[in-house]
Amino acid sequence: MSPPRIGILPIRAHNGGMSTRPLLGLAVLAVALAGCGGGGDAGPDLSEQALRGRAVAESNGCVACHGDRGQGSVGPAWIGLAGATITLDDGSSVVADSGYLRRAILEPKAQRKDGYTIEMPVVELTTQQVDDLVAYIEELG
């Protein structure tokens, strides 16, 4: 029996012999996985700065709580956060503008969004990294 060609998977035929079939199932799986949130492109509409911000979020563990594409989890969602009026845990409201986002990143205990009790860790980031992360959150809508 010769080795299979690339793109062809040997399978047992009903008569017990070997047959080959295109790897259509694996190709479909690969396309489906590429569309999932883990590691695929976040979208062509993100600026270079926002892409750097996404990398900051990934490399500093932010995605563990805020989701790998900002969809939220045990931490608030970033999608739709920028510009929204949010209620804080003390009952007051604030607009999630760039100033709020910066403060939330640098001083996570200062103004916590209502409904989230897990404390966000303080992460040492450069000014550029904070700017990039804020740009990413803002571009998520």
Helix/strand/coil percent split, the chain, to 5: 35, 15, 50
CA 14 distance to own-chain centroid: 45
Q: What is the mean pLDDT of residues 5-27?
A: 42
Angle between helical axes of 127-139 and 48-59 (0-180°, round to 10): 110
Q: What is the mean pLDDT of residues 61-65?
A: 91
* Domain that residue 95 falls in: 48-139
Whether residue 29 is found in the same domain as residue 55 = no
Q: What is the mean pLDDT of residues 12-29?
A: 41
Q: How many domains does the chain have?
A: 2
Any idea which of 37-41, 78-82, 98-102 has the lowest mean pLDDT? Answer: 37-41
pLDDT at 43: 52
The Cα 8–Cα 101 span in angstroms is: 51
The CA-based diameter of the chain, rounded to the nearest angstrom, is 73
The Cα 10–Cα 84 span in angstroms is: 55
pTM of the complete model beyond 0.85: no
User: Is residue 8 in some structural domain?
Assistant: yes
User: Is residue 43 in some structural domain?
Assistant: no
**What are the structure tokens assigned to 141, written together?**
């809508």
pLDDT at 37: 39
User: Is residue 106 in some structural domain?
Assistant: yes
